[in-house]
């Protein structure tokens, strides 16, 4: 996904509320997101870049699209 596609998907997932993306997740989803970052990027969730967190957020919601 391009950065623009990521931004649009996150905004839509948050209902265009402008809230930090993680606030819209349940506790279970937040744990899955953190595990996804730690498994795929081999680093701690809190040290992830904005792009890594955005990708994990979209993967957690099943909205991530692989590059074609």
Instruction: Report whether pLDDT(56) > 80.
Output: yes
- Span 8-44, pLDDT tens digits: 888 888 877 666 778 788 999 999 999 988 887 777 8
Burial classification of residue 48, based on how many CB atoms lie within 10 Å of its CB (0-12 exposed, 13-18 middle, 19 or more buried): buried
If phi over 0 gives left and psi between -120 and 50 gives alpha, with beta otherwise, what is residue 20? beta
Q: Flag whether the pTM goes above 0.75.
A: no
Alpha-carbon distance of 27 to 31, in angstroms, equals 6
Token digits of residue 42 = 């081999």
């Amino acid at each position: 996904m391009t950065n623009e596609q990521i931004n649009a998907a996150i905004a839509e997932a948050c209902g265009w509320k402008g809230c930090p993306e993680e606030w819209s997740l349940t506790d279970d989803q937040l744990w899955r997101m953190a595990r996804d970052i730690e498994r795929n990027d081999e680093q701690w969730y809190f040290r992830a870049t904005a792009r890594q967190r955005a990708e994990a957020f979209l993967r957690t919601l099943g909205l991530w699209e692989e590059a074609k």
